[in-house]
Each structure stands twice: as C-alpha cells, then as structure tokens.
C-alpha cells in the first residue's frame, strides 16, 4: 500500500471527533479514516492533564500501528494536554490539533464579547491561556464548561429538553452579558449546534473550527505528497467501550450518511 492511500488517524474521548471526521471527509472525500473514540474512559474534560497525555500517547501509537499517515487530535481537551508531547515523540509525523477558535471569535464579535463553550480541562490549560493572551486582549471571553453536556451527547440526547435546558443555562448569562459570538471549543458541541443556534438567535455567530482543521489537513497532505488519489477509501471506526444502546452507530450514521462498521472494546 502506498503511503498516500493510508488512512488519516483521528481520536477523541468519544463521538465528538466525528464532527471533525465529517469535515475532513467533506473536504477530502477520497481519504480513508481510522477513527478511535475512547468511550471507555470518557469524559476527558475533568481528568488531570498527565492522565490525558498518557491516553493520547497510547491511542496515537495504536493509530500509527494501523498505518495512519497523519494524526488529528480531534479533541480540544487532548490537544491542550498532549499535542506538544505527541509532536515531541513523533517529530516526523504530521499531527494536527484542535483549539477553541478564540481568534476567529475575536474577529467576528461586534459587541466585544465572545462566549466560549469548552471543557474544564481546556479552560485550565496553558494552551488556552496563550490563546487568550495572543488574541483576546481587546475582547471579553465569557466561559462555560457545560458540565454534563458531553455525557448527554454520548447518550444520543441531541435534541432533548434536558440538553436544551443545560445549554440555556450556559448561553443565557453570556447573552445577558452581551455576547453575540459563540465558539464551540469542544468537538462534541457541533452535534448540538442546531440547539445552540436556536438559543443564541439569528443574529449570533457560532464558530465550529472543524472545517478550518480539515483545510489544514489538506494543506499538510498536499505539501508532503500524501493526498490519496485513485484508491477507494476504506474507513475503520473503533471505540474502547461497548456501544451500549447503539448510540455511537446511530449518531455516526446520521452524521456521516453511512452506517459505520464499528470495532468495540479496542485497546480496552
């Protein structure tokens, strides 16, 4: 198999990174995906950074053993905790990370107030502090860790009253404080973007960084001569837990437009 026809490896704590896989497949429909969702150990958001670093290292090893030509850390929390570490361990592998879109948020706001929805782990990180320092000097960031939202999304509750209530509690105070722009700083949150749009109202800007990450993946693959041309794509989806209730399959199929074959209890 030529290196170009090998998959793009992505990982997240669970289903969230599929929002990034979706953007990549839209941008690069000929590419194959090797996806790993660490559903046995989700959520990552409240765990110590060194624990997440170790998980990320083990998962990256797995993705590379599966032939990945490029790694996407499709999780803001894991990127904040482990991106530098992974790049240090594998200096020759292109590794793309996620970060809350603070810069685009600061450029988009007209009120000077940007709501950031991300996990506690992301907010506590050095990476986030550096984003604030570099791009948010002239705007106010209003933060909310949306505790419990990741679990609701994993349970397939994308449009339930309890999900809407949690989001209203997070977004309402930001709106009252004048926020007109909302940054989706966790890869799970695009799954409830419809609800967020409904709550935030038609004048608000909602920023999902996944399409920009997909363009970055394309740039890197092109630069290194690794874009797949011709070979039929073959995807693999793995999770470390069991797909209780079939939510992973259901949500993935609705998003991707095909029923993924799922390998369960991987790396468990």
Give the footprint of ligand DGL on residues 74-133 (CB under 6 A): 75-77, 119, 122
Which is the catalytic residue, given 117, 186, 196, 217? Answer: 186
Give the interface segment with ligand DGL, choosing from 57-65, 89-97, 137-145, 185-193 (CB under 6 A): 185-193
Q: Do 212 and 144 meet the contact criterion of CB atoms below 8 Å apart?
A: no
Q: Site for ligand DGL (CB under 6 A): which residue of 6, 109, 144, 187?
A: 187
Q: Site for ligand DGL (CB under 6 A): which residue of 36, 44, 55, 128?
A: 44
Which of 16, 59, 45, 21 is closest to 268 using CA atoms?
A: 59
Told to judge if 146 belongs to the known catalytic residues of this protein, a careful annotator would answer no
Closer CB to ligand DGL, residue 184 or residue 200? 184
The rounded distance, in Å, linking the Cα atoms of 1 and 88 is 27
Give the interface segment with ligand DGL, choosing from 28-36, 42-50, 125-133, 200-208 (CB under 6 A): 42-50
Q: Do 248 and 39 meet the contact criterion of CB atoms below 8 Å apart?
A: yes
Residue 20 sits in the site that holds ligand DGL (CB under 6 A):
no
Question: Considering the complex, what minimum distance in angstroms separates the CB of residue 135 from ligand DGL?
Answer: 19
What strands, in cross-sheet order, belong to the sheet with 113-117? 140-144, 113-117, 181-184, 205-207
The rounded distance, in Å, linking the Cα atoms of 149 and 182 is 16
Convert residues 122-161 into a mask of x (bound to ligand DGL by CB under 6 A) and - (unbound).
x---------------------------x-----------
Angle formed by the axes of helices 210-223 and 18-27, to 10°?
Answer: 50
Told to judge if 75 belongs to the known catalytic residues of this protein, a careful annotator would answer yes
The rounded distance, in Å, linking the Cα atoms of 71 and 56 is 11
Closer CB to ligand DGL, residue 210 or residue 226? 210
The rounded distance, in Å, linking the Cα atoms of 182 and 79 is 20
Which of 84, 96, 90 is closest to 52 using CA atoms?
A: 84
Binding site for ligand DGL (CB under 6 A): 12-13, 16, 42-45, 75-77, 119, 122, 150, 186-188
Active site positions, annotated: 75, 186
């Amino acid at each position: 198999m030529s290196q170009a026809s090998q998959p793009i490896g992505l990982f997240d704590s669970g289903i969230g990174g599929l929002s990034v896989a979706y953007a990549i497949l839209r941008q690069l429909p000929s590419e194959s995906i090797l996806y790993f969702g660490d559903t046995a150990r989700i959520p990552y958001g409240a765990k110590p950074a060194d624990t997440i670093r170790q998980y990320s290292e083990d998962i990256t090893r797995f993705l590379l053993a599966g032939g990945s030509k490029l790694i996407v850390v499709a999780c803001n929390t894991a990127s904040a905790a482990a991106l530098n570490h992974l790049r240090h361990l594998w200096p020759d592998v292109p590794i793309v990370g996620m970060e809350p879109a603070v810069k685009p948020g600061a450029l988009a706001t007209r009120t000077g107030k940007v709501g950031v929805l991300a996990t506690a782990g992301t907010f506590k990180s050095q990476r986030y502090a550096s984003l604030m320092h570099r791009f948010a000097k002239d705007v106010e960031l209003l933060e909310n860790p949306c505790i419990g939202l990741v679990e609701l999304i994993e349970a397939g509750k994308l449009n339930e009253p309890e999900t809407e209530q949690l989001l209203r509690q997070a977004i309402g105070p930001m709106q009252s404080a004048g926020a007109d722009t909302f940054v989706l700083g966790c890869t799970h949150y695009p799954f409830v973007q419809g609800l967020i749009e409904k709550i935030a109202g038609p004048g608000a800007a909602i920023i999902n960084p996944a399409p920009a990450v997909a363009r970055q993946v394309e740039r890197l693959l092109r630069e290194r001569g690794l874009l797949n041309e011709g070979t039929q794509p073959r995807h693999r989806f793995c999770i470390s837990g069991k797909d209780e209730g079939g939510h992973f399959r259901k949500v993935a199929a609705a998003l991707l437009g095909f029923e993924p074959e799922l390998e369960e209890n991987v790396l468990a």
